[in-house]
Each structure stands twice: as C-alpha cells, then as structure tokens.
Structure 1
Amino acid sequence: MNLKGMAYAERGFRNLTNSERAVNSPEDLDGLRIRVMENPVYTDTFRELGANAIPMAWTEALTAMQQGTIDGQENPVNVIHSFNLDETQNYMTLSRHTYAPAIFVMGMPAWNQLPENAQEVLLAAAQEAAEHERQVNAEMESEQLQALRDAGMEINDSPDMEAFQAAVAPVYEKYGEQFGDYLPRIQEALK
C-alpha cells in the first residue's frame, strides 16, 4: 500500500443495537433485520447467528432505522452515542464481537525523505498519541454508555458469549484458511 504503519489507536469494540428486543443469546437474533458492513465475513457471521443480515452503507442505515426497514445495526459505542441511535434503537448488547483499530499511517515517499532521528520522534509521538487516544476512548465510552442508559436504552452488558462463539464456528471454518496462521494466533492470545 506504500504506507508506513506508525501506531494503533482504536475506534473500539463493535456492539449490537436493535429496536425490537433484548438480545442475550443467538436465539434472540432470530429474524431480526440487522445492518452489517458490506463485508462477506460480517454478513455470514450475522446470518449464522440467526439474523437477517443486510449489507448496507452506513449513510443508508440511519434512514433505514428511522423508517423501520431494518431493526438494528452494530457499531462501537461512540458511534451509537454520536448518532443518537437511542432515538431508534431501544436495546444494546455489549457483544464486543469485533475490535476496530484506528491506524496511524504515513505515506512511504514522505517517510523515506525524513532523517532517521525525525522518524524516531514521529514513531514515539504516534505511539504516545495512540495510547492517549485509547485512554480517552475508554473514559468516553463509560460516559456515553451512561448517557444512553439515561436516555432509556436498555443495555445488556453480559450476553451469553459462549453461545455466540459456538454459533459462529462455521464462519471460522469457512474463512480461516484465508487468514493463514493469524486466526489461530489471535484465538490463542485470547485464552
């Protein structure tokens, strides 16, 4: 891509919201129309969970939720809060099903023109900024969750994670080989 990766900040974990009912297990997703990113892994994952997964651009999802064309969506808490999804979504499940990093990058042509000491300073600054951003994001998430609760959103912060993990096992089987040893390494690190 001709980019220099400098540090990982975050967008946060993605969580499920919907307008119909509380979700604690995959059975609770049965038949819900859930907007997912236009990505086959996401589509297959939510279909394995029993949802009617609808790949859709985010710009279309807001209107679709308002019109009742879809029942729910999945995004980090900061997106759910920032877009006032409590106005159309009554329930949130802290499913934390996907982690979304935010990567600091720089174009390689510009990077290669910098002296080594400037590169070191930029890398250190990017790491410091990433760590600060993750801390601020964690603090904001707590405040945003409370604001959503205060607005009347019912938030389930302890869904049956084992049931969700078991339900999506076929997705791991379908896509696992595409990702080489990354998937087993991630799974091992999570133990």
Structure 2
Amino acid sequence: MSRSGKILAIGGLFIASIIGAAIVTNGNNTTNTTNLACESQIKTLRFSMSSNTQHPIYDGASKFKELVEKTTDLTVDIYPSAQLGDDRAAIEMLQLGTLDVSIPSTAPLANFYPEYNVFDLPFMIPNEAVADKVLRSDFAGDMLEMLQSRRLIGLDFWENGFRHLTNSRRTVTSVDDVKGLKVRTMESPLHLDAWKALGATPTPMAFNELFTALQQGTVDGQENPYPNIALNNLYEVQKQMTDTGHVYTPLVLIFSEASWNKLSAHDQAAVRQAAIEAGDYQREVNRRVNNDSLATIKANMQVTELTPEARSEFRKATESVVDKYRDVIGGDIIDSFTKEIAKAEKESAVQ
C-alpha cells in the first residue's frame, strides 16, 4: 500500500476508534480528559494562498475546505490572490500563530528551513510519474515531520509543477541564449544561483508583482509552470517560452503549530486525512489544467522544445549549484532525495 493509502486508512480508523475515548487514567490513578474529549479551541481556519481562484491550487483548497467541514465542526475561510500576504509573509504568520493554514511552494519555505532547498535543485525530477512516487515516499514523510519541531505542521505535498522559461527578447534554444536575460525568480537564493549559473541576471520578487514588472520591462522574463503562465495572462507581456522544465516545484500544505495544538485529536486526524484526499484531487486538476494551459500558451506564444543535447547542456551548467548547496541542505538529505528519485524512475520504467 502507498504512503497516502496508509495515511488514509490509518486516519479513518483513528477517527472511528477515538470517538468513544473521552477519559483516560494516568499513572497516578487520576482521570484526565484527553485532547479528544475536548472541543477544538478554534472554530474557523484561515487558509492563505498566493494563487488566484482560477488556479488548480484553489480547487485543492476548496476540496480541503469541503472535506474538513464535512468531517468536523470547523469552518475553513480561503484567502486567495495573496490577500493576507505573499508566501513568505504567510509562513511568518503561521510561525507566529496569526494564520492557520497555507500552501506555499518549497522555495519560500526554504528561506526558513534550508533543508527544503532540496526540492528546488535544478534538473532532478524528470517527470510527473517520478514526482508522484517521491512526494508520497518515506523520504517525503520525513521532510514533513521535520517541520513539527519548528513551529509548523507539514500535512502533505501538493503540486505546482515543472517550471519553464518565458521572455520577451529572444528565442531560447541553448544556454548561450539565456545569457544577459533579466529573469524574475522566486525569493530563493538557490533559484538566484541557478539562473546566475546559466548566465542570466535573476531578480527576485513576489508573484503578485510580476505582471507589472514584465509589462514595464523591469525584467525580460520569468519561469513558472504552465497554469501560472496561462491563468495570469503572462502571454500578453511575453513572446517566447522554452520548455526548460528545470525544476519540479511541489507545494507544501502547512499548518501553524499554535493553531494545530488548539484542535482536538479528532479534528487533527480529520484535517490530516482531508489534506491527503485534497492533495490527490488537486494533482488531478493540475494535470488537466496543465494541458489546457499549454494549449493556450501555444496559441499566444512561440514555444521552443529543447533538444536532448540542449537539456543536457542546461543540466551541466547548473551542476555547481547542487554542489554549492550540499552543506546548506545536508549531504544526507540530497543523497536520500537522489536515491528516492532513482528508485522511482526504476519503478516507473517497470510499470
């Protein structure tokens, strides 16, 4: 059984089995009310996300809301389009306990938890089948558990997708074509270093500032998954796209530890199960929208597919970045990640 299947099964059994257990006896023979017997101390969960209501991430958040509200007395209020702040601000609010739930990409999360840079190392995950296996593996579970000692509760990995380069200056078919391009990146030192290694001039900024920056020529280009490009009409201010697929970006559904500790055990189990089910749903929607978005992009932009030789050139140009971040991330984590990828590739090939 897969990790997600195990979590769903255990979660369901846990919810069912703990409903009747309200009182326990401790070692001193006194009775204490367990967390289960207590009602959650909060009733409304504020869910912040940077994407707009058209994005598959919002579909996943809506499914999460539906499942949580169906299985608990909690209410989930969703705030899309960075209404409460961008990913970095949301993470800070989660740590302070002034926000309950968010779904940032791994890059902004890595500003707080350096180990999460491992997911943004360039040219590591080759395709969606491998991504699915890696992000529901024991390795992924360990990465989520890591957050629990650092004021966050990691619930599940969702999908943003493979990132591709767009620009308004020229067709990019090789590393040489990237040189000199001013490229907007996420606010991640690793992403900055990767684009510097390719010869670009990277400029970090929040996603909600991107369209205006492209329109005004502050930057020449940017890199994002297909839905982010199409659903935000970036083709209106960009002429070229190259299917670099340089990074597969996961999303991390995270909960404030302060808020989590205010939930009853029953509600914690229900929220965990909802996160897994909503993650599966979000991934399905994202793949469907991904195909539709690519069609929109092709209708409005020139799309260049890298040759295998060019892709190898891109990967070779960024190998120094992997080496540079070995001490930042931890060599053991990078080794475990690459082993998990190799295992997933082997399993996918057999299937």
Q: TM-score of the superposition, structure 1-length normalised?
A: 0.88
Task: Report what 1:154 is aligned to.
Answer: 302
2:238 paired with 1:89: yes
* Aligned-residue identity in percent: 37
From 166, 170, 179, the equivalent of 1:30 is 179
**Structure 1 SS opposite 2:244:** strand
Does residue 166 of the first structure (1) align with residue 335 of the second (2)?
no
Match of 1:182 among 310, 314, 333: 333
Point out 4+ residue stretches in structure 1 off by more than 6 angstroms.
none
1:18: which partner in 2?
167
Equivalent residue number for residue 58 of structure 1: 207
Deviation at 1:139, TM superposition (A): 0.4
**Does residue 42 of structure 1 match 2:198?**
no
SS of the counterpart of 2:297? Answer: helix
Residue 41 of structure 1 aligns to a residue in which SS? helix
- Cα distance change, pair 104–36 in 1 and its aligned pair in 2 (3 A): closer
C-alpha distance in structure 1 between counterparts of 2:267 and 2:166, whole Å: 44
Code of the residue aligned with 1:55 in structure 2: it is P
Find the aligned partners of 1:96 and 1:40 in 2 and give their Cα distance: 19
Deviation at 1:167, TM superposition (A): 0.1
Kindly state the Cα deviation for residue 48 of structure 1 after the two structures are TM-superposed: 0.8
What 5-or-longer segments of structure 1 have no aligned partner?
none
Counterpart AA for 1:173: D
Residue 104 of structure 1 deviates from its aligned partner by 2.1
| 1:185 alignment partner AA | S
SS of the aligned residue for 1:92 comes to strand
* Secondary structure in 2 matching 1:95: coil
Higher strand content, 1 or 2? 1
- Matches of 1:17 and 1:70, distance apart in 2: 11
Aligned residue among 227, 252, 255 for 1:106? 255
Q: Which runs of 5+ in 2 are unaligned?
A: 1-149, 343-351
TM-aligned CA deviation for residue 84 of structure 1: 0.8
* Partner Cα distance (1:19, 1:119) in 2: 47
C-alpha distance after superposition, 1:112-159 (max 9, x if no partner): 4544444333222210100110110010010011011122x1223445
Q: 1:104 to 1:39 in 2, by over 3 A?
A: closer
The verdict on how the C-alpha distance between 1:115 and 1:94 changes in structure 2, with shifts beyond 3 A counting, is same
Alpha-carbon distance between aligned partners in 2 of 1:119 and 1:142, rounded to the nearest angstrom: 35
What TM-score, normalized to structure 2? 0.50
Counterpart pick for 1:5 among 154, 158, 177: 154
Highest Rg: 1 or 2? 2
Asked if 1 retains the 8 angstrom alpha-carbon contact of 2:211 and 2:237, the reply is: no
Cα-Cα RMSD: 2.0
**1:44, 1:140 → 2: CA distance?**
30
What are the within-5 Å matches in structure 2 for residues 71-150 of structure 1?
A: 71-150=220-299
